[in-house]
Amino acid sequence: DAGVIQSPRHEVTEMGQEVTLRCKPISGHNSLFWYRQTMMRGLELLIYFNNNVPIDDSGMPEDRFSAKMPNASFSTLKIQPSEPRDSAVYFCASSRNSGSGTDTQYFGPGTRLTVL
Amino acid sequence: AQRVTQPEKLLSVFKGAPVELKCNYSYSGSPELFWYVQYSRQRLQLLLRHISRESIKGFTADLNKGETSFHLKKPFAQEEDSAMYYCALKNTGFQKLVFGTGTRLLVSP
């Protein structure tokens, strides 16, 4: 298994543009997590899904951010319009939710976003 | 509110020296604590969790509920231990992880 796959790996865009980040979880995993990593705030959970349903989106910074999971093998995180303060590394992670809460999260390589 | 504090952004030691990466947390429930590691050009990965009480790559961490700490320790650091280390917390039975801001460990020869 290739693990969690994210695309693109790097994205440079201009302020005001729409940005879409993509994630393919590990096959068989039914929980998916989006994180943002910055120097100042470290790793922050933005949103997570169980069985394609958003469970907790309290970490989504504002309405410019939206996430979807149309099926078990694909998720997107969209920023519209993008701003320079959105520049960060965005990680996707997945886990097999057995219901025990002890499942390990496996992380993707991340997408480094730069908004000019 | 759940919070994880890693007071050191950078910890620099020489090879063979003991290492302790500090982690303190605030949480009123029954937390589970983890250490994640990110080596250069690699993915973030789980290093160890307190419920397993295991030693991974020579690292150990003990949950001290009285001091609300979960410090990561290794008696003799190796150069290959150089990486970014994140302490994380979650409520038992739930999935949401709260991470600290991370500590970069640099082990010099």
Question: Could you report the per-residue pLDDT of B83-107, keeping only the tens digit for each?
Answer: 999 999 987 777 788 999 999 999 9
d(CA A45, CA A90): 10
Structure tokens at A75: 């998720």
User: What does the pLDDT look like over A2-28, one tens digit per residue?
Assistant: 899 999 999 999 999 999 999 999 999
Percent residues over pLDDT 90 in chain A: 78
Identify the residue whose tokens are 């994205």.
Answer: A11
Of A45, A95, A108, the CB nearest to B43: A108
**Whole-angstrom Cα distance, residue A24 to residue A18?**
20
Among A40, A44, A91, select the one facing B44 at the smallest CB separation: A91
Report CB contact under 8 Å: B95, A108. no
Which pLDDT score is estimated for B55?
A: 84
Rounded Cα distance, B30 and A21, in Å: 34
Phi and psi, residue B19, nearest 5°: -130, 140
CA distance A41 to chain B (A): 6
Q: What is the DSSP letter of B56?
A: B
Q: How many Cα atoms are found within 13 Å in the side-chain-facing hemisphere of B34?
A: 22
Residue B42 CA, distance from chain mean position: 17
Mind listing the pLDDT tens digit for each residue in B14-61? 999 999 999 999 987 778 899 999 999 889 999 998 877 788 899 999
pLDDT at residue A33 above 90? yes
B76 vs B68: CA distance, rounded Å: 25
A78-106 confidence digits (pLDDT tens): 999 999 999 999 999 999 876 665 678 99
